[in-house]
Amino acid sequence: NAGVTQTPKFRILKIGQSMTLQCTQDMNHNYMYWYRQDPGMGLKLIYYSVGAGITDKGEVPNGYNVSRSTTEDFPLRLELAAPSQTSVYFCASKTRTRGMNTEAFFGQGTRLTVV
């Protein structure tokens, strides 16, 4: 099992450019999440999905878009990169077993710098 895989690991973007951060999981998890991590701020939820075809906004969705066409993949799209989007992005997934929550599993992260 690879778990949660994110690509790329590092990226430098110019202001106004666009890119897609890829996230895939092979655990057949229903729920997937995108977080951004900034120093001293913890992890802030950008978007999440409870299953294929269903997405919802988190705390800080502005400037981002997501899609969930399959159970495995949950890409995060930045349309017009801004310096405020310089951050480390983590994708996570989890499932529910017999109606109970389980812990989330995280990818290795993508360090994005917008200049």
Partner 1 sequence: AQSVSQHNHHVILSEAASLELGCNYSYGGTVNLFWYVQYPGQHLQLLLKYFSGDPLVKGIKGFEAEFIKSKFSFNLRKPSVQWSDTAEYFCAVNPTGGGNKLTFGTGTQLKVEL
Q: Which residues bind partner 1 (CB under 8 A)?
A: 31, 33, 35, 40-45, 48, 50, 58, 90, 92, 94, 99-101, 103-104, 106-109
Nearer to partner 1, 16 or 51 (CB): 51
Specify the 3-state DSSP secondary structure of 83: helix
Q: Give least dist CB 50 to partner 1, A.
A: 6
Place of tokens 């929550």: 101
Name the minimum Å distance from CB 78 to partner 1: 20
- The dihedral built from the CA positions of residue 96, 102, 104 and 105, taken in this order, carries a sign that is negative
- Complex with partner 1: residue 5 or 17, whichever CB lies closer: 5
> Which is nearest to 41 in space by CA: 105, 92, 87, 7?
87
CA 46/CA 5 separation, integer angstroms: 18
Shortest Cβ 17–partner 1 spacing (Å): 25
